[in-house]
């Protein structure tokens, strides 16, 4: 039986390598106006995804373009729901206008991290998705509040990060730390393959924690992201594993 791995990438954020990355991934998460992106970039990225048969996902965030959605933003519950709903529906309508469809949702940056550890934020974003009444896959981190609250209600797709170091509590090492990113090709591969094959995440401290992933994220703004994913394709193929294409 053919073994496959699912790799996703955050695109449509104004990065330089979308066209090079798109043919090499399984799914893309498209910025839909919160932290980055506009109608033009959404249309362009949707068309690029369809050209390469890549799953199309919405990547909503706190509406904070100034900080690229990477800072917590104090918002009322209603305002946060309205923002998320607007971002997702905008991309959904664009995807459908191009002849495609939205397959999943993955929150971005601080909103993703907040929903992982804050039960109230997790509840709000899940209620927002329920109110939208659509059956998307929802990308969530392992051992998170959003996964606990969403279990049995949503089609959860557990995500691990190919190019980020982890703490022992399953949180990501802060981007303010030098150790946040994994940028060496072989180290990224070893990190990914350990999770894929052994269901073990090696933390920055060296401890191994249990972690099963349905999908792996490689950030498009990680230095040498194109070279990293090309290396992953080569090394995974040597292990008899292909990157899944829809």
- Name the strand (E) or helix (H) holding 155: strand 155-161
Residue 159: name the closest of 89, 239, 104, 102 by CA.
104
pLDDT at 245: 82
- Asked whether the beta carbons of 43 and 94 are under 8 A apart, the reply is yes
Categorise residue 18: left if φ over 0, alpha if ψ from -120 to 50, beta otherwise.
alpha
Q: Choose among 119, 118, 218: nearest CA to 159.
A: 218
Mean pLDDT of 168-179: 92
Q: In whole numbers, what is the pLDDT of the chain averaged over residues?
A: 96
> Residues 113, 35, 28, CA angle at the centre, nearest 5°?
75
Question: Looking at 67-76, 130-139, 153-162, which range is the least confident one?
Answer: 130-139
Tell me, what's the pLDDT at 1?
59
Q: If phi over 0 gives left and psi between -120 and 50 gives alpha, with beta otherwise, what is residue 101?
A: beta
pLDDT digits over 191-241, tens only? 999 999 999 999 999 999 999 999 999 999 888 999 999 999 999 999 999
- pLDDT tens digits, 53-99: 999 999 999 999 999 999 999 999 999 999 999 999 999 999 999 99
What integer pLDDT is reported at residue 125 of this predicted model?
A: 98
pLDDT of 246 higher than 80: no
Mean pLDDT calculated for residue range 132-157: 95
pLDDT digits (tens, 9 = 90+) for 32-57: 999 999 999 999 999 999 999 999 99
pLDDT at 189: 98
Residue 2: per-residue pLDDT: 78
Q: What is the CATH number of domain 3-243?
A: 3.20.20.370
Percent of the chain clearing pLDDT 70 (strictly above): 99
Select from 102, 240, 111, 225 the least CA-distant residue to 161.
225
For 80-113, letters b (16+ CB in 10 Å) and e give bbebbeebbebbbebbeebebebbbbbbbbbbbb
């Amino acid at each position: 039986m053919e073994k496959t791995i699912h790799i996703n990438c955050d695109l449509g954020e104004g990065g330089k390598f979308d066209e090079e990355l798109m043919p090499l991934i399984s799914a893309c998460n498209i910025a839909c106006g919160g932290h980055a992106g506009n109608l033009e970039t959404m249309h362009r990225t949707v068309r690029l995804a369809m050209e390469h048969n890549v799953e199309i996902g919405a990547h909503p965030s706190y509406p904070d373009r100034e900080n690229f959605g990477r800072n917590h933003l104090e918002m009322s519950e209603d305002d946060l729901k309205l923002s998320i709903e607007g971002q997702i529906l905008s991309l959904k309508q664009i995807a459908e206008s191009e002849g495609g469809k939205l397959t999943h949702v993955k929150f971005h940056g601080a909103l993703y991290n907040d929903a992982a550890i804050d039960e109230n934020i997790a509840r709000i974003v899940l209620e927002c998705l329920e109110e939208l009444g659509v059956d998307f896959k929802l990308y969530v981190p392992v051992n998170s509040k959003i996964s606990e609250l969403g279990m049995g209600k949503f089609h959860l797709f557990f995500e691990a990060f190919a190019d980020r170091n982890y703490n022992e509590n399953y949180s990501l090492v802060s981007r303010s730390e030098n150790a946040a990113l994994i940028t060496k090709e072989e180290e990224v591969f070893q990190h990914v393959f350990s999770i894929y094959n052994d269901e073990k995440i090696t933390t920055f401290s060296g401890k191994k924690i249990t972690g099963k992933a349905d999908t792996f994220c490689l950030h498009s703004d990680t230095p040498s992201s194109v070279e990293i994913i090309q290396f992953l394709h080569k090394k995974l193929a040597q292990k008899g594993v292909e990157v899944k294409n829809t």
